[in-house]
Amino acid sequence: MTDARWTRRAALFALASAPLAAPLMASAEVFAGHYDLHAEPVADGVWVVRGADAAIGFANGGAIANATILAATDTDKGAILIDCGPSLAYARALSALARRLTGGPVRRVFITHLHPDHAMGAAGFAPDQIAALPETTRELGRDGTGFSDAMYRLLADWMKGTTLVMPGLTVAPGPMVVGGRRLTAVALAGHSDGDLALLDEATGTLITGDLVFHNRAPATPDANLARWRDSLTTLTQIPHRRLIPGHGPVDPTDSAIAQTRDWLDWLEGALRTAVIDGLDMGEAGEIAIPPRFADVAMARYELQRSVVHFYPRLEAELLPRVGG
Ligand SMILES: [Zn+2]
């Protein structure tokens, strides 16, 4: 960590805090960098800590992604985490919760993909505890500092002490045993360049990271929709009894994969139609969302973000070039 970066971070921190100084101080005793995390039992030795079905914001401290806790089953008690939240304070709260549930320390942290709501809690662990796909480590190297700056700007005090800690372990696809638990790692992509899914063999619990969103609209800032669809097909071919999505409730009925695909298909078709019909980006963000997505949280918000991500590329592809 260079001095220059700390200076920049400090400047951003001050900038983010200044206009809100009074409310921040007033609410400091309420939040005090403390996340009130709750574990929902999912299966034997498996818990999910649900994120808020909302955008990253000061009100939720960035705790919008799901984190999964697995209990080690070998003689040393402890926990395996899959994703670790947005900040050092979250990681500490998650570790304390995992210790209460499993009777031991965190022994391994898997990071499903680069996004900061899943990955920046790595600040609470040592590199040799943290495992990710090689693509994810590469993407964190590219984007991690920018994410960190943005998170400090949005979340101010919630991010206190959070530094970018890179995964020190590389996940190879296939079966492995961690803390006595048999896991199968599946290396996928499409939500980002590296999306890790893990199957807990004992319980048939499939943990998908952000390849699957459930009753919460998918986020697409780094998406490749064709690869994402291929990954969803792969996930349907993995026998499982329940699925823990990256966002939204646990799916016991095997409907969340299809719902995610349905949204991506609709989104791409709707945006292509909007470009061909000559809508501008503002208008495209206001198109009707089909009633079947009425119960999908954050639908309008993610549609508008997706317009920003995809519209320039679609216009370049679909609109004739003047004089071309
Ligand atoms: Zn994500």
Task: Specify the pLDDT at position 271.
Answer: 97
Q: List, run by run, the mean pLDDT of 10-residue segments along the chain (324 residues).
A: 38 36 41 82 98 95 98 95 98 98 98 98 98 98 96 95 97 98 98 98 98 98 97 98 98 96 98 96 98 97 96 91 61
Q: Write out pLDDT tens, residues 51-85.
A: 999 999 999 999 999 999 999 999 899 999 999 99
The domain locations on the chain are: 3-254
Task: Specify the pLDDT at position 320.
Answer: 79
SS3 209: helix
d(CA 302, CA 66): 18
Other Cβ atoms less than 10 A from the Cβ of 206: the count is 24
Question: What secondary structure does DSSP assign to 171-200, as a single string?
Answer: PPSEEEEETTEEEEEEEE-SSSS-EEEEEE
Cα(174) to centroid of ligand 1, in Å? 22
Q: Write out pLDDT tens, residues 111-157.
A: 999 999 999 999 999 999 999 999 999 999 999 999 999 999 999 99
Cα(113) to centroid of ligand 1, in Å? 7
Cα(104) to centroid of ligand 1, in Å? 29
Cα(321) to centroid of ligand 1, in Å? 34
Residues with CB under 5 A from ligand 1 (ion): 115, 210
Cα(191) to centroid of ligand 1, in Å? 7
Question: Class for domain 3-254, per CATH?
Answer: alpha beta
SS3 249: coil
Percent of the chain at pLDDT exceeding 70: 89
Query: Chain centroid to CA 229: how far?
Result: 18
